[in-house]
Amino acid sequence: MYILNLSSSLVTAWSNDVGFDDVFAHQVRVLGNDDDVFIGLTTSASPNILKACNEARNQGMYVYLIDKLMVGGEGTAEIQENIIKFLHRVALEAKELCVENPVH
């Protein structure tokens, strides 16, 4: 599992030299593989996240975009809260599935 913005040095260097709009798409190109899962989180349909989604799709990855359209909300703070609530719901449902259907 990779968290794309984990390397602040990479993000800063790439953004300064190339531009911020491609910083995540570049990481998807380098780190992504066919059949990986890419989850994009954005409150404002950021161009860099959308480009990363397109790059992931082009590489044959499963792409999920979690944004205002999916969770709703007025303003950045409320959208962020709704994204967190959504992710908690997904985690709880995944946990329940694992408890109900354990793998041995």
For residue range 59-93, list pLDDT tens digits in order: 999 999 999 999 999 999 999 999 999 999 999 99
Strands (E), 1-104: 37-41, 62-66
List of residues 6+ apart from 15 with CB closer than 8 A = 23
Distance CA(72)–CA(79), nearest Å, equals: 6
Quick: pLDDT tens for 13-63: 877 777 777 888 888 998 899 999 999 999 988 888 999 999 999 999 999
Report how far residue 96's alpha carbon sits from residue 79's, in angstroms, rounded to the nearest whole number: 26
